[in-house]
Copies of this chain bind each other. A is one copy, B any other.
């Protein structure tokens, strides 16, 4: 029926995820449509319809077994997180979110009440962030719960921030703290292992870990920080959201901007709760920050002259600076040594 039967077989892992996504999307890289201001390759696409605002469109998927585990993820939180994940992409474009479509593939074991809990969470997030859910569909699924959301927003040409705008000598900044969601996940996974087989369906975890769990199960999007930056007259030159760890985000930003970066290891913001649990579990908290997922923080670059304002701003840390592409992307250790920045390969999603 087609020629695919005799196809060669190259494993995705052999090619590497960046090259793989590039191979899939390269044929779509150019378009004759002058209204496309940004196509594939950023947190969202940007269309210029000729009005005073550009339209920004971001698509996000969350798949059972990869992006969440229903044994310990309350469905209401999952619905909320789906919206946050979609919204976080719009934040990374410095765009204002407006509309959302959500499609859910529900397995047969789902009850009406469970599906309702999922949509209650979506509703709560939509209300919290002032969005409107305008479409999508609900279907049966044989293959676990699958969620897809498209967030649509807008930004003026001045506001719009791409991954590609970073320039040499600019400051590299990050919002919030990193690695907490990853440690929350480790906690849930540990409890799952402990409780497996004894009939208790949801782990009980001590109150001292509330912050880590909240960061994993009910993250928020960094809308407020963008308002602060705007209030201070600071326009990020490049931005990306940190959903698969700082390392992956920094490498994407460097590649899209054609620059390198130096990130000072001891400036990466890590919460004390993250440190404590990482120590207890024999995990390097810096590795959690670099490679852990689901933080939904923002990595951005800003002009050097805004150094003082950025240092004074709550919820923002200056973690390094932009260097020429030839110098590459590296971590700087406290003793001044350099470690080449690397991201884990094709394991979960590729941000496309």
Q: Which of A42-50, A251-259, A277-285 contacts B (4 or more CB under 8 A)?
A: A42-50
- Contacts A7-B114, A40-B136, A45-B99 aside, 6 further interface pairs with beta carbons under 8 A come to A2-B74, A4-B75, A23-B112, A31-B134, A47-B134, A142-B144
A45 vs B60: C-alpha distance in the bound complex, in angstroms?
18
B residues less than 8 Å from A138 (CB atoms): 20-21, 24, 349-350, 352
Contact mask A79-118 → B, CB, 8 Å, 1/0?
0000000000000000000110111011000111111110
In the bound complex, do residue A99 and residue B57 qualify as a contact, i.e. CB atoms below 8 Å apart? yes
In the bound complex, do residue B116 and residue A40 qualify as a contact, i.e. CB atoms below 8 Å apart? no
Q: Does A341 contact B (CB under 8 A)?
A: no
Q: Does A51 contact B (CB under 8 A)?
A: yes
B residues less than 8 Å from A142 (CB atoms): 63-66, 144
Q: Which of A8-16, A157-165, A224-232, A298-306 contacts B (4 or more CB under 8 A)?
A: A8-16
Q: Does A33 contact B (CB under 8 A)?
A: yes
A137 vs B41: C-alpha distance in the bound complex, in angstroms?
9
In the bound complex, do residue B126 and residue A28 qualify as a contact, i.e. CB atoms below 8 Å apart? yes
Residue of B nearest to A124 (CB): B27
Given known contacts A45-B99, A57-B99, A74-B2, is B65 in contact with A12 (CB within 8 Å)? no
Q: Which of A145-153, A170-178, A311-319, A326-334 contacts B (4 or more CB under 8 A)?
A: A145-153
Residue of B nearest to A17 (CB): B138
In the bound complex, do residue A11 and residue B99 qualify as a contact, i.e. CB atoms below 8 Å apart? no
- Residue from B9, B105, B132, B352 within 8 A of A135 (CB atoms): B352
A133 vs B25: C-alpha distance in the bound complex, in angstroms?
9
Given known contacts A1-B202, A119-B24, A143-B65, is B57 in contact with A135 (CB within 8 Å)? yes
Q: Assembly of this chain: how many copies?
A: 2
A42 vs B5: C-alpha distance in the bound complex, in angstroms?
39
A93 vs B55: C-alpha distance in the bound complex, in angstroms?
21
B residues less than 8 Å from A77 (CB atoms): 2
B residues less than 8 Å from A348 (CB atoms): 139-140
In the bound complex, do residue A45 and residue B134 qualify as a contact, i.e. CB atoms below 8 Å apart? yes
Given known contacts A2-B74, A135-B40, is B140 in contact with A24 (CB within 8 Å)? no
Which A residues, 187 to 240, have Cβ-Cβ distances below 8 Å to chain B?
A: 201-202, 213, 217
A223 vs B148: C-alpha distance in the bound complex, in angstroms?
26
- Residue from B24, B31, B123, B347 within 8 A of A115 (CB atoms): B24
Q: Does A59 contact B (CB under 8 A)?
A: yes
Q: How far is the CB of A147 from chain B (nearest CB, A)?
A: 9
Given known contacts A24-B116, A59-B148, A117-B4, is B346 in contact with A40 (CB within 8 Å)? no
In the bound complex, do residue A141 and residue B111 qualify as a contact, i.e. CB atoms below 8 Å apart? no
In the bound complex, do residue A112 and residue B59 qualify as a contact, i.e. CB atoms below 8 Å apart? no
B residues less than 8 Å from A10 (CB atoms): 111-113
B residues less than 8 Å from A119 (CB atoms): 24-25, 27
Residue of B nearest to A106 (CB): B12
In the bound complex, do residue B146 and residue A113 qualify as a contact, i.e. CB atoms below 8 Å apart? no
Q: How far is the CB of A11 from chain B (nearest CB, A)?
A: 6
Q: Does A58 contact B (CB under 8 A)?
A: yes
In the bound complex, do residue B349 and residue A140 qualify as a contact, i.e. CB atoms below 8 Å apart? yes
Q: Does A36 contact B (CB under 8 A)?
A: yes
